[in-house]
């Protein structure tokens, strides 16, 4: 398909002379429909060569040799606890204030203790200043991580 040329017009008000200055930015991007003609209106799951879905979603995702956990942290709680495993993230309450990374450190220590790992095997990958965090776990399989997290929830 041919590339189409898109022009966007942005107006900036010039405060001193109270007139408008127009600037045009030109973007050359290929225009492609997100769905092919055959699959319009149909939802289909694409599989890779092994027959597994190509897009893996959920709070516990395998990444190379590691496991990625999507966490929704709630700092300032009375005690460290896992409140639930949702479709998008694992809800964790942390007994530390969100000041100077103390809640992040406490989260890493708590998840390591729940999984029975050293703190060095759990790494905060993304979300240092957000409640939505991504932890990388090394040395465990996805099934083992799920099992230990669910056991921790049921032991409350």
Report the run of H or E that residue 143 belongs to, with start and end. helix 142-154
Dist CA 71 CA 59 (whole Å): 7
Report pLDDT for 155. 87
User: In this structure, are strands 90-94 and 66-75 parallel, antiparallel, or unpaired?
Assistant: parallel
Tell if the pTM clears 0.85, that is, is over it: no
Dist CA 93 CA 80 (whole Å): 5
| Phi and psi at residue 38, to the nearest 5° | -70, -35
Report pLDDT for 13. 36
Dist CA 97 CA 73 (whole Å): 11
Residue 147 has which token pair? Answer: 């099992």
**Digitized pLDDT (tens) for each residue of the chain, 156 residues in all:** 444 444 433 333 333 334 444 444 444 444 444 444 444 444 444 444 444 444 567 899 999 999 999 999 999 999 999 999 999 999 999 999 999 999 999 999 999 999 999 999 999 999 999 999 999 999 999 999 999 999 999 987
Domains, the chain, with CATH or none: 60-154 (3.30.1200.10)
């Amino acid at each position: 398909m041919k590339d189409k040329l898109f022009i966007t017009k942005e107006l900036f008000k010039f405060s001193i002379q109270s007139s408008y200055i127009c600037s045009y930015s030109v973007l050359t991007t290929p225009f492609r429909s997100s769905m092919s003609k055959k699959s319009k209106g149909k939802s289909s799951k694409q599989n890779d060569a092994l027959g597994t879905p190509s897009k893996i979603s959920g709070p516990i995702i395998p990444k190379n040799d590691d496991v990625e956990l999507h966490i929704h942290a709630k700092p300032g709680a009375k005690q460290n606890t896992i409140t639930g495993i949702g479709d998008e993230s694992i809800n964790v309450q942390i007994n530390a204030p969100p000041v100077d990374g103390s809640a992040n450190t406490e989260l890493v220590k708590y998840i390591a203790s729940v999984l029975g790992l050293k703190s060095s095997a759990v790494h905060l990958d993304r979300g240092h200043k957000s409640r939505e965090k991504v932890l990388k776990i090394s040395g465990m399989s996805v099934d083992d991580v799920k099992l230990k997290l669910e056991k921790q929830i049921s032991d409350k």
